[in-house]
């Protein structure tokens, strides 16, 4: 896989920084959906467990760029299996979750380099499609890399 010289796979030593960056993402996105008033910090511990376990089972890839005093940026790719269909030949869907660059390290190409590395990994995983939710600021980069509007409307439900 061709990588930006600063891009590397995350290790277990990066977990605390990955949790910090994910929290930064939620703070940036704001609103009650991402930062519910009833929320507590327990999600951080649960996230740390997932970030340790999932890369080991091969269904998740986490790429990072070091920033000297912690991580400058990270991106997480996950592969899910859904039912195959004419629009999803093998049922394998890639998800990009948690593309985050620390504000002190933005506009240096870290996100682009990480995304290219994740797209290479998704190709190797033989996914039929890669989905992501883009922030307003991130959308131009993803469109430049070939992402287009999804034809399905997105809805969600919380029990």
Decide if 11 is inside a domain: yes
Q: What is the CATH number of the domain that holds 45?
A: 3.40.630.30
Q: Kindly indicate the confidence band of residue 19, based on its pLDDT and cuts at 50, 70 and 90.
A: very high
Say if 50 falls within a structural domain: yes
Q: What is the mean pLDDT of residues 93-104?
A: 93
Examine residue 2 and state whether it is found in any structural domain, yes or no: no
**Helices 15-29 & 42-53, crossing angle to 10 degrees?**
130
Contacts of 93 (CB under 8 A, 6+ apart): 79, 80, 81, 82, 127, 128, 129, 130, 131
In a domain, 71, yes or no: yes
Q: Establish if 126 belongs to a structural domain.
A: yes
Number of structural domains, the chain? Answer: 1
Structural domain containing residue 75 = 7-144
Give a yes or no: residue 41 inside a domain: yes
Least Cα distance to 25 among 114, 100, 96 occurs for 100
The verdict on residue 101 lying in a domain is yes
pTM of the full predicted structure? Answer: 0.88
């Amino acid at each position: 896989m061709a990588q930006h010289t600063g891009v590397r796979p995350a290790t277990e030593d990066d977990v605390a920084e990955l949790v910090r960056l994910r929290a930064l993402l939620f703070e940036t996105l704001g609103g009650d959906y991402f930062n519910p008033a009833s929320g507590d910090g327990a999600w951080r511990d649960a996230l740390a467990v997932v970030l340790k376990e999932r890369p080991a089972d091969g269904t998740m890839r986490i790429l990072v760029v070091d920033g000297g005093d912690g991580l400058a940026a990270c991106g997480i790719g996950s592969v899910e299996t859904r039912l195959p269909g004419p629009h999803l030949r093998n049922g394998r869907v890639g998800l990009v979750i948690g593309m985050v660059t620390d504000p002190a390290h933005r506009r240096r190409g870290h996100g682009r380099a990480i995304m290219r590395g994740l797209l290479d990994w998704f190709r190797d995983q033989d996914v039929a499609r890669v989905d992501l939710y883009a922030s307003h600021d991130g959308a131009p980069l993803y469109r430049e890399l070939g992402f287009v509007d999804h034809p399905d409307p997105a809805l969600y439900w919380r029990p």
